[in-house]
Structure 1
Amino acid sequence: MTQVQPKQPAARLNNAQQALEVARQLAQQFRSGAAERDRERRLPHQELQRLFGSGLGAITVPRDYGGIAVSSAVLAAIVATLSEGDAAIGQVPQNHFYALEVLRVNGSEAQKQRLYAEVLAGVHLGNALAEFTSKAAHQRSTQILNGYLNGTKFYATGALFADRIPAAARNEEGKEELVFVPRHQPGVTVIDDWSGFGQRTTGSGSVEFRDVEVAAEDRVPFQTAFERPTAVGPFAQMLHAAIDQGIARAAFNDMLDFLRQRARPWPDSGVERASDDPLTLDRTGRLAARLAAGDALLELAGAAVDTAQQHPSAESVAEASVAVAKARAWTTEVSLEAGNLLFELSGSRASLREYNLDRHWRNARTHTLHDPVRWKYPAIGNYLLNGVLPPRRGTL
């Protein structure tokens, strides 16, 4: 059994309010260097060490295991806040919390005791889920045979920075497991080959597993989390919605700052300042209202996820999936709208190297492609009109 140590000891947070305040403080720090990190593609190694050293990585650990078990709505608010500061940093812990949710619903008592203790100490979990070779996102060819793991992953967000890399793989019986692989286990290679034009510093590269010996204690059942009603799927999507909401807020706030301090309206508009232009005021007010709606939808989604976690059933999980799909579809559209409006009202200057404000649109356009939003509205409508329960998977 391999015990993994964090890069640095983590602080212990006492309650949800403290966690929210720490997230706000970190987001403010991250914001100051976000444009430069994106421009230079400078990976946020030190920033992520601060994040996981702050204790935020352990906020979903159940109270019975020493954590504070924040509500899903609070977790979503924290992820949105971090993403507002730097969208790439905000995305990295999404898979960390996702792996902890799989551990919560499918891990053995011994696995929970050991892995929760590591996370409380500051261990960062990455991910190795997606594959190029499969026909669909939920199909994997990575295998465990005779205790050895082999396969290649991509879109492995966070793996480059992590202490463990939870990897999806099929076992000897063809059932999928989530293997909590130590980052520096022999045979593990993390490749920094992510070259997206948005979310440039998430480290979402590739991971190769070549005859990696895996301990039985690190193997958690994965497939069964979707074969029965659990909140794993909507929980994951809720965090993606929070990332998009954070991107939208960042674009909106930078737009306000740009218009107040620098921008001028068109010469024939009849006003001296962009902040006095009635058309600008109208578009700004409309987007502010849509952002507030996104916050409300996230809170409702979080409450539905909490209910599904505490009282899992086919109906409660379906209601959580639908509530989250509403939030995810909405924040997808609003994050893109915010990036577009930033360009529209600030002009081509937004993309100047000095400002690098175009990163918000690039981040939204890239992250919102994580899974097709076009699936969500039909699933919502089919549930409401026909009572058809949405599929249980991590991409709805």
Structure 2
Amino acid sequence: MKAYLLVVDDEQSIRQFLKIFLQNEGYQVDVAASLAEAEKAIGENVYDLALTDMRMTAPDDGLKVLRAAIQKTPSTQVIVMTAYATIEGAVEAIKHGAYNYIVKPFSNQDLRAMIQGALATKDIAVERRRLLREEVQGKSTFEGIVGRSEAMLKVYELVDRVAPTNANVMIMGESGTGKELIASALHSRSERREAPFVAINCAAIPETLMESELFGHVRGAFTGAVQTKKGLFEAAHRGTLFLDEVGEIPSSMQSKLLRAIQERSFRRIGGNEDISIDVRIVCASKRDLQEEMRAGRFRDDLYFRLHVIQIVVPPLRERRDDIPVLALHFLHKFAKQMGKPVTRIDSEAMGALLAYDYPGNVRELENVMERATIIETKDVISLASLPPNVTKIDSSREGTVPL
């Protein structure tokens, strides 16, 4: 089967030359003149490789094409074409998951060899994806995350592709979907896994303490600062810093956070020494941060620094196939903790669990199963053990998913 390639460049002559050359090499080729055309093509097709110019007419650039390509199909390889003046940006693209970059003007031979290498890497990525799916289907888990639905498999594949890079990642999803577990999985599958994974819930920190929490302070910096304290950026050095509910960071702190990310350094409160850091930032939010930007509550430059790669965690109601395996996972967990002999869920109770929409997502299902395990007096969870808000639902899906 012919490999399927996408060429993205805003210069018509380059697009035409590359299309003819690559078709003569035996590839199926589409071309796009802009980011919008590339995103449309990526949304409609599955490409083996994308060959994109690094610098195009603003605001288009190769990094945005890279992000769109690997978010749609994690196994897609991306080669960035660059001029000498933009090599730094091309190197940045590799850090974000590109296969490689090639400097213009390049020879047909060099391009041919690089594409062949990228497609060989793609074949390895496809095999890795197959093995990952087999592993998840066998164990029903991925880095401690329970679920084997198609929706979650796509999330795992993107995590597996993005984790080895240094790209900052934005995780979006409703409350209770397991965004911190995804962040932890990104860390566990990265080269930073031996270093700390440090998490902070930005919504839980008062505005007056936020700067000290992130950057630390020196002794005497303010009333009560009786000793020097390291902040979370320092604690996460060479590791991963997870900023949960990043949309809650007050505007007064956003510029300081942006500076630390851009310059890879910061100062403790009251200090006069710049402290260098090597930290990967992973963020999560249940808010629509683009809407927050439009409303002037979130800096657009900070957003684009944090939002290099986006991972969307689906709500539980959109992956009902995972409900039985999650319910049994929680049942076994709580039965063991409580020393109770409950091991099964009857079909009527499972029907109710499958039919419920879980506004609180996986966290709510966990609470439901904890309650049921406490209340149940027999060895099987029955409908009577479930809370009224769950049993009110019409159990029309009863028995549709095998246990």
| TM-score between the two structures when normalised by the length of structure 1 | 0.29
Tell me which of the two structures has the higher relative contact order, counting C-alpha pairs closer than 8 angstroms and 6 or more residues apart: 1
- Return the structure number with greater strand share: 2
| TM-score between the two structures when normalised by the length of structure 2 | 0.29
Rg larger for: 2
